[in-house]
Structure 1
Amino acid sequence: MTNLSIVEALGQIAREKNVDREMVVQTLKDALVSAAKRRYGNTENYFAEVDPQTGAMEVAAHMRVVEEVEEPSAEFSLEDALEIDASAQIGSIVVKKLNFADFGRNAIQTAKQILIQRVREAEREHIYEEFIGRVGIIESGTVQQISHGDIVLNLGRAEAAIPYREQIRRERYRQGDAVRGYIYEVLKSSRGPQVLLSRTHPEFLRKLFSTEVPEIAEGIVQIHGVAREPGERAKIAVSTSDERVDPVGACVGVKGSRVQTVVRELSGERIDIVPWIDEPQIFIERALSPANVSRVITDNRRKHAVVLVDEDQLSLAIGKSGQNSRLAVQLTGWGLDIITDSQYQERRAKQEGIQQLLRKIPGVSELIALSLTTSGFDSIRSVSEATIELLRTVPGLEDEDASRKIRTTAENFLAEHGPDVDKVEDPVVTAVEVKENGSPENTKDDSHSSEGLT
């Protein structure tokens, strides 16, 4: 290979693999040194030079002049050294240039393998650094294959995968299909960087709206929250600081053009766009749309709310299989207890009965009884058997001595009056309790849970 060919090859490798030319030159030097070691001996006295401008290459061994040679690959006798350098003497270093023709096929093959391996590692590192900086954006790729349920995509310079758990269930893909996804993680592996995409991530929906709605991209409209049940339904909360802009209208677009573009990308996922407001009661009402809410009673300490609706709105507020209520919980970040007004009144009556029962404990005030009731205590026994740590979570009982005293008092009261004193009338009330990441279920107020009681 001519020197010009070497220069061209170095440039071609750097361009095709998108790596630094200096790194390729240094790798070639290391490969030549490894070839020399394989041919002449594994010592650390070999050095290589490559001129990236001319392509000239040189490998040399620095040999120490000694009286008696013990390591032929690193030492010269004085007689041999004088043939190369007339000024050589015992203890000096003589530079011996090596002939590439003497390296042999195995040594050259070793150099080639090292060059290929190092360039591949540099390319992988470059790709990793490129994509780790792109986490949080949408990337488009072409389906290469479906492997064990995962979709393998070709992103051009890298491969990516959409794991089965990150796919919208109703979607089906074939080889060659174009697919977009949200980059949520980039992993290092022996085969190179693994770029992981998601089509179910809430941020995917946020980024799609940012792409379709210029007002979001420009910061005029803000997305405060995203809740999704991928492929089925989603809710987003939006607001704006510009009174001239309608945030919901901006996301919907003329004749629904903007939101429909996002819906088509998500295979028909229905999207509710909710005006955000920094007032929990109003925001919760809006989040439960299309149901009409009569009243929202909030407990800021527990970030939990009781939502009162008319009888004919209850199923609409909950939604099919609890979907509407679950999305509202995700969107607002509040636990929601959705009931009718009549159920709420019955619950209040039961709560007042529990409070009166707890007030039988000597020293328990009306306020402490209310705190115990809203914290989930529904009997004197539940107080007597509670841990000190649990009692200290009750407002007004944060002090350890106060918690210990009320527990001891409850124990003594039961011991003195017997279990029959620990009874309260228990009206049957059916409510729908909705918790984040859970489905609604019919519960009775005679359970130990008192979430939503006010």
Structure 2
Amino acid sequence: MSSELLDALIILEREKGISRDVLIEAIEAALVSAYKRNFNQAQNVRVDLNLETGTMRVFARKEIVDEVFDSRLEISIDQAKKINPGYETGDILELEVTPKDFGRIAAQTAKQVVTQRVREAERGIIYSEFIDREDDIMTGIVQRQDPRFIYVSLGKIEALLPQSEQMPNETYKPHDRIKVYITKVEKTTKGPQIYVSRTHPGLLKRLFEIEVPEIYDGTVEIKSVAREAGDRSKISVSTDNPEVDPVGSCVGPKGARVQAIVNELKGEKIDIVEWSSDPVVFVANALSPSKVLDVEINEEEKATTVIVPDYQLSLAIGKRGQNARLAAKLTGWKIDIKSESDARAAGIYPRDASLLFFDEDESSDTFDLNDEEIE
């Protein structure tokens, strides 16, 4: 048995990264508990596990005292000196108390400890692997579902996709391959627990990093993301390279790059706008596909008043206010949209100091599942 155990410990140390000394220490501690439990002993004992000779010995540890009060834990100095004249009061005397059938119990206990430690090590390896994947994207396979979760296999472990993180326009069937965003990795008593999302704005950002080489290598940067999953999203992009068009890079040849992302998100419309450090320009771009005539800034309240042509008012606001709402999330500015006629009647347009006209250009693009550009 000792030879088999030694071989097993060597293999575990090599393949699982579990130290042999740690395993031996754990086995010895478990054997102490097994001895006390199986032989109804309350005395202080130590187990010596010798893998080379194949022996497992149990020693009762007793303190040498002048007067014995508990024979299970103490031994008199007179008795100790009969064993070895060199003993003195306060020393610890060890007496072998190995039961005859302890080998069978020891083997079973050792097996249980090794199995438990292997399981713990595997959980630790999985946790270490996935804790580094938080805020990252992975491809998983749908396994099953219940009223609360979709269970998605990520290879070594099943992740949980909560109902609140599922896209409203999607149905999930077993064996479907989907990309998910890892939002949280927890260490629990039953092993690591991984939560994923299909609605997180980070999923959109990671998809662009995968599809657009200029984003992956840092030439183009995603500045902000606003998303209403399954319906519409906006992202702002910029670059320090004057020879690179950040919006065009994300769109790709004939819209191929953004179309791949739209397909992955089951038809979610995506507005790609150019970021600007000037809030006037950025807010105007963010309201794409609407044309903007003027933007007035209130720095103290971080609010803007945006003037749009009368015929563009509904487009600027969007269905149920969605376009304006996403633009506000994208820019971080409050946005109040007024039609040109209302602004003129209120005397706030045109302004005397300057007029800002935003011509239709390539500063933004909107794509849907049919790869149609909306201007």
- Tell me the TM-score normalised to structure 1 length: 0.67
**Structure-1 residue corresponding to 2:155:** 156
2:167–2:199 Cα contact (<8 Å) kept: yes
Shift of 1:15: 6.2
**Structure-2 residue corresponding to 1:42:** 42
**Structure-2 residue corresponding to 1:174:** 173
Matches within 5 A, 1:174-323: 174-323=173-322
Q: Which moved more, 1:184-193 or 1:305-314?
A: 184-193
Rounded Cα–Cα distance in structure 2 between residues aligned with 1:190 and 1:329: 43
Q: Which amino acid aligns with 1:322?
A: G
Q: Which amino acid aligns with 1:26?
A: E
- Tell me the TM-score normalised to structure 2 length: 0.80
Q: Which amino acid aligns with 2:35?
A: A
Matches within 5 A, 1:28-107: 28-38=27-37, 39=39, 41-49=41-49, 58-65=57-64, 71-76=70-75, 85-87=83-85, 89=87, 91=89, 92-99=91-98, 101-103=100-102
Shift of 1:340: 0.7
Change over 3 Å in CA distance of 1:180–1:232 after alignment to 2: same
Change over 3 Å in CA distance of 1:293–1:240 after alignment to 2: same
**Structure-2 residue corresponding to 1:395:** none
Q: Secondary structure at the match of 2:256?
A: helix
Gaps of 5+ in 2: 349-375
Shift of 1:240: 0.7
Greater strand share, structure number? 2
RMSD: 3.1
Rounded Cα–Cα distance in structure 2 between residues aligned with 1:79 and 1:338: 99
Change over 3 Å in CA distance of 1:46–1:40 after alignment to 2: farther
Q: Secondary structure at the match of 1:194?
A: strand
Q: Which amino acid aligns with 2:194?
A: V
Shift of 1:213: 1.5
Matches within 5 A, 1:131-142: 131-142=130-141
Q: Secondary structure at the match of 1:140?
A: strand
Q: Which amino acid aligns with 1:42?
A: A
Structure 1 residues 382-408: Cα deviation after superposition (integer angstroms, max 9, x where no partner): xxxxxxxxxxxxxxxxxxxxxxxxxxx
Shift of 1:152: 1.4
The answer on 1:127 being equivalent to 2:107 is no
Q: Secondary structure at the match of 1:293?
A: coil
Rounded Cα–Cα distance in structure 2 between residues aligned with 1:120 and 1:98: 32
Rounded Cα–Cα distance in structure 2 between residues aligned with 1:106 and 1:330: 65
Change over 3 Å in CA distance of 1:346–1:57 after alignment to 2: farther
Change over 3 Å in CA distance of 1:88–1:172 after alignment to 2: farther
Q: Which amino acid aligns with 2:298?
A: D
1:35–1:103 Cα contact (<8 Å) kept: no
Rounded Cα–Cα distance in structure 2 between residues aligned with 1:32 and 1:61: 13
Q: Which moved more, 1:298-307 or 1:110-119?
A: 110-119
> Which structure has the larger Rg over C-alpha atoms?
1
**Structure-2 residue corresponding to 1:429:** none
Shift of 1:291: 1.1
Q: Which moved more, 1:244-253 or 1:300-309?
A: 244-253
Rounded Cα–Cα distance in structure 2 between residues aligned with 1:335 and 1:347: 20
Rounded Cα–Cα distance in structure 2 between residues aligned with 1:54 and 1:145: 51
The percent of aligned pairs where both chains have the same amino acid is: 45
Structure showing greater relative contact order (alpha-carbon pairs closer than 8 Å, 6 or more residues apart) = 2
Shift of 1:200: 0.8
How many residues are matched? 346
